[in-house]
Amino acid sequence: MTSMDPVSSSGVIFAADLGGTNLRAATVDNAGNIGYRVKHPTPHASRCAEEIVSAIVAAARECESSLKQHGGTIRAASVVVPGTVDIAAETVLQAPNLSSLDGFRLTDALKQKLGWPVLIENDANAAAVGEMWLGAARGYRTIVCVTLGTGVGGGIILEGNLWRGVDGSAGEIGHISVDPFSGVKCKCGNTGCLEVFASATGIVRMTRESLSKYPRSELNGEDLTAQRVYEAGLREDELALKVLEKMGVYLGIGLANLVHLLNPEMIVIGGGVANGWLLFEKSMHREIEQRAFPVPVRNLKIAQAKCGDDAGLLGAAHLALTSGS
């Protein structure tokens, strides 16, 4: 586990969030203030790991030269990766959307080029740390952060410490089974995972499957996105309301499992799909209350994430600040 009591030292953290689409980076100070920001497209998935390293280094140099104009320095780099990370071996084990990083010793490669201490962390784990430091879970110590995006990710913090699991695979909340009979295949190879119902992809699929039953729905004949389904729901489109209600049921089942397992103080829900909160919260709460025991539910807070796209950057920075880097 990582101790999370901030230590003071001079210089700011270079934090980078390596997404499947964009590389976002920024300088972050001890208080979590974001200084200079950089956003570039991530080198295409087919490119080699060295190109990804070069892109991160270029972003770091850009931040560094901006900082130097004001007399500032960078003391460490912390990089968020969309995949499983072996912290002890400083290696990316598997990054489904950036497979050139599979088995790659990213930390070493960056240390050699940057000359600073370097940390790497899984994206959903970093987002959980960011939300605990400066977001919805500020002041809470035992939380679960669920990110509902194209897929479903999760981060677990127990008594202030990130729980990565023995192999760095903890918090894969998207792959909790919630419906073994649906037959809907997940990209992990399993069927009935939470991700196939509570992700943006899942919302679009469920909508498409029911279109023929709702011929008057405004969602017929449109390019479907989860955001469009949500917007149609706000206009009381019957199909959209049905889909988001069902999504809330599955999410509630998944979260009730987490309550049974971890008895958290707070569950934070972030990611683009959390925008549909108003239309899924009722069925989500109902499922949790029906399925989980009353005592852990009574004390449980469920909140929308507050850090938005910066959760990963802030979490990465906090991990570096508290590691003694």
Contact residues for Zn ion, defined by CB under 5 A: 175, 186, 188, 190, 193
Which is closer to Zn ion, CB of 184 or CB of 303?
184
Question: At closest approach, how far in Å is the CB of 119 from Zn ion?
Answer: 28
Q: Exposed (0-12), middle (13-18) or buried (19+): which is 318, by Cβ within 10 Å?
A: buried
Which is closer to Zn ion, CB of 116 or CB of 250?
250
Q: Record the tokens describing residue 60, joined without a space.
A: 């770091």
Phi, psi for 41 (deg, rounded to 5): -65, 140
Question: At closest approach, how far in Å is the CB of 192 from Zn ion?
Answer: 8
| Long-range contacts of 209-214, Cβ-Cβ distance < 8 Å, separation of 24 or more | 210/239, 210/242, 210/243, 211/239, 213/239, 214/238, 214/239, 214/242
Q: Record the tokens describing residue 171, joined without a space.
A: 């918090």
Question: At closest approach, how far in Å is the CB of 188 from Zn ion?
Answer: 3
Strands 22-28 and 34-41: antiparallel
Question: At closest approach, how far in Å is the CB of 86 from Zn ion?
Answer: 21
Question: At closest approach, how far in Å is the CB of 177 from Zn ion?
Answer: 8
Strands 22-28 and 143-148: unpaired
Which is closer to Zn ion, CB of 134 or CB of 196?
196
Which is closer to Zn ion, CB of 203 or CB of 307?
203
> Which residue in 168, 20, 30, 32 sits closest to 87, CA to CA?
168
Which is closer to Zn ion, CB of 177 or CB of 225?
177
Which is closer to Zn ion, CB of 144 or CB of 193?
193
**CA–CA gap between residue 6 and residue 11 (Å, rounded):** 14
Phi, psi for 98 (deg, rounded to 5): -135, 65
Compute, in degrees rounded to 10, the torsion defined by CA atoms 238, 244, 248, 254. 140
Question: At closest approach, how far in Å is the CB of 312 from Zn ion?
Answer: 21
Question: At closest approach, how far in Å is the CB of 82 from Zn ion?
Answer: 15
Which is closer to Zn ion, CB of 254 or CB of 264?
254
